[in-house]
Amino acid sequence: MTDAITPTKTLDVKGKICPYPDMDTMTTLKKMKKGEILEVLLDYPLSVERLPRSAKKWGHKVLSIEALEGPNHRILIEAFGLKD
Amino acid sequence: MTPIILSGLGIGILFGFALQRGRFCMNSAFRDIVVLKDYTLIKSVTVALLTSMAGFAIMVLTNTITINPKPILWAGNLVGSFIFGIGMVIAGGCASGITYRVGEGMVGAMTAVLGLMITATLTASGFLAPVKNWLQQWKYPTEGASATVASLFGVDYPYMALGIVVVAVILWVILARRNKEEAAPKQGSLLNRIFKQGWGWLPTGIAIGLVGIAAFPLSAASGRNYPLGITSGWVKITQLVLPSVPTENSLKWDMWLIVGIVVGAAVAALIAKEFKFRVPKWTVLIQTFFGGALMGFGAVCSTGCNIGHVLSGIPQLSIGSLLAGLAIVLGSWLTAYLMFVRPMASGD
């Protein structure tokens, strides 16, 4: 289902320690234009749950949270366009 | 010997399991308030404290335990815990956070623990001990029972503790009704929700609080009259490899607790398919080692980490632990501001 969506940008934060997965994602989203889609690849369980909360709080839209192999996850977020 | 191993290890496994499932980390709890404006984990911490406080009070009333609050060490608590608070943000986890993440396979947490082990041992009994002794010279009261919020008001501990819990729960319910939040969608069977999905903040807080309650009488039965603690256990593990320290001194309840936490977290992570060896860049490994080293030094100077002071000490209403908790929060906020809030505000 989410394969149909082509992300504008991909951010790989696998292996990063707390809270860099969230921080890197939020700063990247901040610079993206409205409607652009960010693909985040992460493996840190706390961030898999916290990142969608933070993204929503800043007005971004979480399109999907997909579990891959092991702790790996793929989250698609549509940017709100904070820079616009 | 065997009961100490079984009860310490058993409580540790339950603690590690709950820490991993609930992603319970006080570093994240305190730091997220200023960095991500996320209050999920601080709610968990508060629930855990209130649960333990109620449990300790009831156990005192039923003569199951005698509370053993830590004394006020003005400089030790404030300076030591402030340094601990700085260290945990740099290390990316509090004392319990880095310990359970070892069981998740996070190599950055392993190097943080290594730093904590080295400096905690050096501060407890090595060349840094004079610094600790100097910081701990201002003690109040100099003799006798430690000052608690209960003794400050001249009330018996159990009544003061239960009073605080009741008032806090009432206030919380009123506040929660005012700003209703959307509940997380519940999916799957109960077993799935326990073993496969992350726990919500409420069950996490209650579970951690219950582990703290169970820990108190079991640890006391082994001759260590105190609930959960992290740093002292790591010091005892370090002493095992030092030939100068007799081994029997280190085979204690709090050491088995640590072994249990790592095992419990690993089991939880394996069942949920969240176990993986995660190796960050070498610069990050040095960073977490340095953060852990600050934590070890600070915790021993303050006679406790975030677990010994916040999770175990505040429910006993120890004023020294309240001061330590405050200093941990201030140290973490200052560091989080410099490391994360300021760089993020500047736009990149």
pLDDT of residue A3: 63
CATH of the domain at A62: 3.30.110.40
Q: Is residue A84 part of a domain?
A: no
- Quick one: which of B164, B15, B27 has its CA closest to B87? B27
Q: What's the confidence (pLDDT) of residue B177?
A: 86
- Asked if residue A59 is part of any domain, the answer here is yes
In the block, residue with structure tokens 């790592």: B262
Pairing of strands A9-12, A37-42: parallel
Give the span between the Cα atoms of B235 and B255, in whole angstroms. 8
In sequence order, what DSSP letters do the residues of B28-58 get, joined into one string?
A: HHHHHHHHT---HHHHHHHHHHHHHHHHHHH
Residue B268 domain boundaries: 3-346
Domain range holding A51? 2-78
- Cα(B95)–Cα(B174) distance, rounded to whole angstroms? 33
For chain B, the domain total comes to 1
pLDDT of residue B13: 98
Residue ranges of chain B with per-residue pLDDT less than 50: none
Q: Do A45 and B276 touch (CB under 8 A)?
A: no
Total residue length of chain B: 348
Residue B3 has a pLDDT of: 79
Rounded to an integer, what distance in angstroms lies between the CA atom of residue A35 and that of residue B158? 57
pTM over 0.90: yes
Catalytic, out of A5, A18, A67, A68: A18
Whether the pLDDT of residue A2 is over 60: the answer is no
Interface confidence (ipTM) of the complex = 0.90
Distance of CA B265 to the CA centre of its chain: 15
Q: In which element (H, E) is residue B10 found?
A: helix B2-22
Cβ-nearest to A17 among B35, B275, B284: B284
Is pLDDT at A84 greater than 70 in this prediction?
Answer: no
User: Burial of A65 by CB count in 10 Å (0-12 exposed, 13-18 middle, 19+ buried)?
Assistant: middle
pLDDT tens-digit profile of B121-134?
999 989 999 999 99
Residues B88, B295 contacting (CB under 8 angstroms): yes
What part of A 5-34 touches B (C-beta under 8 Å)? Answer: 14-19, 22-23, 26-27, 30-31
Q: Is residue A46 part of a domain?
A: yes
The whole-angstrom separation of Cα B130 and Cα B124 is 9
Q: What is the pLDDT of residues A30-63, one digit of tens each?
A: 999 999 999 999 999 999 999 999 999 989 999 9
Residue type, B37: K
> Taking CB atoms and an 8 Å cutoff, what residues of chain B touch A65?
none
Q: What is the DSSP letter of B200?
A: P
Give yes or no: A46 in active site: no
Write down the pLDDT at residue B163: 98
What pLDDT, on a 0 to 100 scale, did the predictor assign at position B22?
96
Instruction: Report the share of chain A in percent with pLDDT over 70.
Output: 94
Looking up tokens 């934060």, which residue turns up? Answer: A13
Q: What pLDDT sits at residue B144?
A: 85
Number of domains in chain A: 1
